[in-house]
Amino acid sequence: MQSAELKQFVVDKVEDIKAKDVVVLDVQQKSNVTDYMVVCTGTSQTHISAIAQHVIGEAKQAGLLPLGVEGRDSSDWVLVDLGNVILHVMLAQAREHYQLEKLWTEV
């Protein structure tokens, strides 16, 4: 799956499970680690975990294996690394604190 297709796949899957405030960051010119970051908000730790698990499950069904998953157990931020796309699922407080969008869009 190409980067743009994978990005849309991830966005569709997080929207399936009602993630809030989904933002896609194109970091192709800023990072050699990934092409896109998808950042979204969950309403609770349970919701964050469910969003991440849904994406992981759907990715596996599509033949994609995550390279890594961080923060899965009782966290306010779960990261799912799918290679060309990295998903960040965060509680609103963590998202406000870390401000990933601002970090990756500043020049």
Smallest Cα–Cα separation from 104: which of 11, 53, 37, 54?
37
3-class state of residue 39 by DSSP: strand
- pLDDT for residue 106: 64
- pLDDT for residue 44: 94
Say how many domains are in the chain.
1
Determine contact, residues 83/41, Cβ cutoff 8 Å: no
Listed as ranges, residues in the chain with pLDDT below 70 are 74, 106-107
The DSSP call for residue 83 is: S
Provide the CA 5 distance to its chain's centre, in angstroms.
14
What range does the domain containing 101 cover? 3-105
Query: Using one digit for the tens of pLDDT, what is the confidence trace for 38-58?
Result: 999 999 999 999 999 999 999
CATH, residue 74: 3.30.460.10
